[in-house]
Amino acid sequence: MYSLAHRLISALQSMAMPMTQAVFPRASLLFATDPNKAWILMRRVVTLILPSVGLASVVVALFAPELVALVGGTHYAAAATDLRIMAVVPVIIAAGALPAQIIIVARGLTARLLRIYVWVGLGNLVLLPMLVLQYSDQGAAMSLMAAEVVVTVLMVRLACNRDRSDDKTSPPPGAAP
């Protein structure tokens, strides 16, 4: 059940990928040369991506039983609940994780990004079995949603953090602002 729902959510998530991949080179250049313009670009990207992904997520949640029946057949009807739980994941990723990831990579903070993924992954390894034992496949969907929320919050926090001690785009210590 979870696998079918996850494949449908992955397809929805991929909607935002072409735009973020297209924007990445420009954003990287702007973060190196004009960070203010880079932040403006990131806001524009979010305002373009978020409404379409949000609308698509709402449609997926509303029509989850029909989508599951169409893709997996009637014997996968229970996957509709998993799909509805996970429908918020593409919105979370479009709103925060994709822009944050672009900003983090452009600012040279990939070591911190890796730490976020490792710690959230380890936390999910603890949470997942408990939720699956309690809620079966819906627990796995809840675990995915929780992990994506935590990753996004941490990435947004890192991307917007003004302490840029290891940021390649920040001025060297002692330099005038």
**Per-residue model confidence as pLDDT tens digits over 19-38:** 788 888 898 889 889 989 98
Residue 83 confidence (pLDDT): 95
Please give the Cα distance from 149 to 88 (Å, whole number).
Answer: 10
Is the pLDDT at 160 greater than 90? The verdict is no
Q: What is the pLDDT of residues 75-128, one digit of tens each?
A: 999 999 999 999 999 998 888 777 777 888 888 889 999 999 999 999 999 999
Report the 10 Å Cβ neighbour count for 44.
12
Which residues in 45-173 belong to E strands, given as ranges? none
Cα 83 from chain centroid (whole Å) = 16
Please give the Cα distance from 152 to 147 (Å, whole number).
Answer: 8
Residue 177 confidence (pLDDT): 39
Residue 90 confidence (pLDDT): 92
Burial class (CB in 10 A: 0-12, 13-18, 19+), 16: buried
Cα 107 from chain centroid (whole Å) = 18
Q: What is the pTM of this model?
A: 0.81
Q: Which residues contact 8 (CB under 8 A, 6 or more apart)?
A: 60, 67, 68, 71, 83
